[in-house]
């Protein structure tokens, strides 16, 4: 098995054409009619072969799947693989999540900085709906209502739920490859996180729009999630009943 074109596109889009470590651009501009150099490399977090850095047995789908890949420049790829005790699996996974959040915040800073305030959104009433929204998204724009005035405990609850939704979206293709039961279990897990928010008095609004990266050379779906207090829902133009009437 090898990296699929869809997985490659997702990796480059969510990484924003930047190295996850040094954040240098990985596709250089054309110069004097010559095509720009491509200096990005799709690095495996867990090595593909025995003896490689951070190697551990993985299913073929997971080995070349999105969750096991990190976009790096050639120099950082060499360094990461040369120092596996320093660049552990846990560290690289955290670096990847941190970098993708940075890309999302930089390119899609939220209602005040882009067009997300004009994205049509509906109330998410099931884990299956959130799963379908997040699945195969190339980017995420997730957060809480700025006027929610969350307590520390509420902020932790919201952050944990949104992170769970994003994590399931990122590994969605890998889950699908394991069959219907794995998909059903994933949707149940998403629904459990949604239930926790609902029990605490929150509502999740979801929508999508098209995003672009690398100067418009890559485009794809950006999934939008906003967690709002149930008693603030009247402030939003599009509600579940309005959208589905």
| Segment 58-86, tens digit of pLDDT | 888 889 999 999 999 999 999 999 999 88
Q: Is the dihedral of CA 75, 56, 86, 8 positive or negative?
A: positive
* Span of 23-32, 204-213, 218-227 with lowest mean pLDDT: 23-32
Residue 107: the pLDDT is 58
**pTM of the predicted model, to two decimals?**
0.54
To the nearest 5 percent, what fractions of the chain are helix, strand and coil?
45, 20, 35
Q: State what percent of residues in the chain have pLDDT above 90.
A: 34
Do 120 and 238 lie in a common domain? yes
Structure tokens at 216: 């418009």
Where does a domain end: 84, 107, 130?
107
Do 152 and 78 lie in a common domain? no
78-100: average pLDDT: 88
Where does a domain end: 107, 126, 146?
107
Do 131 and 227 lie in a common domain? yes
Do 212 and 153 lie in a common domain? yes
Q: What is the pLDDT of residues 30-65, one digit of tens each?
A: 666 666 678 899 999 999 899 999 999 988 888 999
Where does a domain end: 74, 107, 140?
107
Do 128 and 213 lie in a common domain? yes
CB atoms within 10 A of CB 32: 4
Domain coverage including residue 82:
5-107
Q: What is the pLDDT of residues 113-149, one digit of tens each?
A: 344 445 677 888 899 999 999 988 888 889 888 777 8
Residue 245: pLDDT above 70? no
CB atoms within 10 A of CB 107: 16
Do 126 and 240 lie in a common domain? yes
Residue 239: pLDDT above 60? no
98 vs 228 pLDDT, higher one:
228
């Amino acid at each position: 098995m090898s990296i699929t074109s869809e997985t490659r596109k997702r990796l480059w889009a969510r990484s924003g054409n930047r190295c996850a470590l040094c954040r240098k651009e990985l596709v250089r501009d054309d110069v004097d009619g010559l095509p720009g150099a491509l200096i990005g490399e799709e690095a495996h977090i867990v090595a593909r072969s025995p003896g490689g850095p951070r190697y551990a047995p993985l299913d073929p789908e997971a080995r070349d799947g999105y969750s096991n890949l990190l976009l790096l420049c050639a120099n950082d790829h060499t360094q990461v693989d040369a120092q596996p005790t320093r660049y552990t699996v846990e560290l690289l996974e955290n670096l990847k999540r941190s970098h993708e959040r940075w890309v999302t915040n930089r390119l899609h800073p939220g209602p005040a900085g882009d067009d997300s305030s004009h994205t049509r959104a509906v109330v998410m009433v099931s884990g299956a709906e959130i799963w379908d929204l997040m699945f195969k998204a190339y980017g995420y724009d997730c957060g809480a209502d700025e006027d929610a005035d969350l307590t520390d405990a509420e902020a932790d609850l919201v952050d944990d739920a949104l992170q769970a939704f994003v994590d399931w979206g990122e590994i969605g293709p890998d889950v699908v490859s394991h069959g219907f039961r794995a998909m059903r279990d994933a949707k149940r897990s998403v629904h459990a996180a949604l239930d926790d928010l609902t029990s605490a008095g929150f509502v999740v609004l979801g929508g999508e729009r098209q995003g672009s990266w690398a100067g418009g050379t890559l485009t794809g779906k950006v999934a939008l999630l906003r967690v709002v207090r149930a008693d603030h829902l009247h402030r939003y133009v599009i509600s579940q009943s309005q959208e589905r009437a």
